[in-house]
Amino acid sequence: MFRPSSRTVRLRDILYVRFTSHFVNFPASILASISPANPLRRLARVVAYAGLRLVGHLFQPPRNPEQLRGAVWLYVVSANNYDALGFIKEGRPDAVLVAGQGKNIGRYGRLVNRLSLRRKILYYWQYPAALLGLRRLVGGRALRFFDLIFYAIGYYEVYRRALRHYRPRAVVFANDHNDDARALLLACRAEGVPTAYVQHASVSTNFPPLSFDLSLLEGQDALDKYRQCGPVHGRVALVGMPKADTFLAQRNTAPQVCRVAVACNLLDELPALADTLTYLLRELPELTFTLRPHPGDQRDFAALRQALPTLQWSDPRQENVFQFLQAHDALVAADTSTHLEATLLNVASVYYRFSPSPTLADYYGYAAHGLSEWAHSPAELTAALRRLAQHKPADLYRRAAYYNATLGTPDEGHSRALALRRLAEWLADPVAGA
């Protein structure tokens, strides 16, 4: 009987999401952007990673402007993570923002301290055994994603070393499924460093089980979904959405929709997106449409810009999602947390899949729980927007109560203060309730 080594089990945990059926069934074009279907292209990426990252890091030691020793680390993997944890940095003088060396944090890249990954190259002797062990543990998916396994090697060991060196008071995460974040979480557990989690976006039942010492979730929806993922570890507090605080008092009061926001992400294929926008601009010339790509979307939109000159654009590197939504009356998007953020601002939310995929339909359950209206076709989408152009309800934001625990309570608009209180209480006694 095969008994995987502890190292294999740990790596399987680090790569939790990558071996799920949900991930494997991503649309082919999206999956290929993460891990190419062609094994030679995957190998080419591995070689590039080895040269640019593993070897490149040796010649670029990080120089941090802040003291990491004994601090409360706020670990970020993206600009969205930074937005989710920035309020803790503002509210606690002992908090510092950190990321892995070379990690792309978008417009905040220069503001984040870096954890050295120069020693990561020393652990690649593990790769052959890791690949073989995972092959026996998860089957053919290990070979299909041998590149993702390669990238994940060494994070755990390097981060354990960093934790022993700096001895942070605690580490706060805003991501629970990226390989580097999960590696740091497991390293914290091994080194006895307390961990906390601040939800930065809506979650799904495909996420790993909640396994932090303290989890600050936005609302009942997140807790219900995490309970479906597996046993919930540690303390949990429902604190609403801290990043929305400053915008909740500025809800949209327009009685009709005139300006329509369109948000897309990497799961939305460009040809299908272009077809939808072309249809909407033709059928609803009286409305203004603005497209906002995901902050991490590196695709070339030049052809779309040229084909649709009347389409307006939002640069996610220059304005955050709430600033974007404030300038609009309705949102059209597929699977994105922007639906929740829009509803909180009383912006009408219409769920529409540009690239239909049965495995991703209503991924966050927004339509099922009445947060968003589901338009199943271009004609239904047009009809919904035409109806909203005649009348937009003034109390749409109430639909978000299941997702945001502070809505309609004295803490509404004060989630930052509530989260900081819960965090301070936990830091004063991180063992209790863990």
- Same-fold call for 6-243+419-428 versus 246-402: yes
Strands (DSSP E) along 381-432, which ranges?
none
| pLDDT above 90 coverage of the chain, percent | 82
Cα angle vertex 339, ends 335, 345, to 5°? Answer: 170
Q: Is the pLDDT of residue 434 over 60?
A: no
Residue 27 tokens read as 């649309």
What are the tens digits of pLDDT across the range 290-320?
999 988 788 899 999 999 999 999 998 888 8
**Res 358 pLDDT > 90:** no
Mean pLDDT computed over 94-117: 94
Look up the pTM and report it: 0.90
Residue 413's region, left for phi above 0, alpha for psi from -120 to 50, else beta, is: left
Q: Which CATH class is domain 246-402?
A: alpha beta
pLDDT at 361: 83
> Quick one: which H or E segment has residue 8?
helix 6-14
Distances (CA, A) of 21 to 17, 43, 135: 9, 23, 16
Q: Give the residue-averaged pLDDT of 260-286.
A: 94
The predicted structure's pLDDT at residue 2 = 67
Mean pLDDT over 200-217 rounds to 94
pLDDT in tens, 44-54: 999 999 998 89
Beta-bridge mates of residue 89: none
Percent of the chain clearing pLDDT 70 (strictly above): 98
Angle formed at CA 17 by CA 404 and CA 4, multiple of 5 degrees:
135
CATH topology of domain 6-243+419-428: Rossmann fold (3.40.50)
What is the band of 269 on the pLDDT scale with cuts at 50, 70, 90? confident
pLDDT digits (tens, 9 = 90+) for 31-84: 888 999 999 999 999 999 999 889 999 888 898 989 999 999 999 999 889 999
pLDDT at position 305 is: 94
Tokens of 42: 């995957």
pLDDT band at 389 (very low <50, low <70, confident <90, very high): very high
Per-residue CA distances from 66 to 51, 58, 112 (Å):
29, 21, 9
**Domain regions of the chain by residue span:** 6-243+419-428, 246-402
Chain mean pLDDT for the chain: 94
Residue with the bigger pLDDT between 65 and 417: it is 417
Provide the edge-to-edge strand list for the sheet that holds 259-263: 312-313, 288-292, 259-263, 330-333, 348-351, 373-374
CB-neighbour burial class of residue 94 (10 A; exposed 0-12, middle 13-18, buried 19+): middle
Q: What per-residue confidence (pLDDT) applies to 259?
A: 98
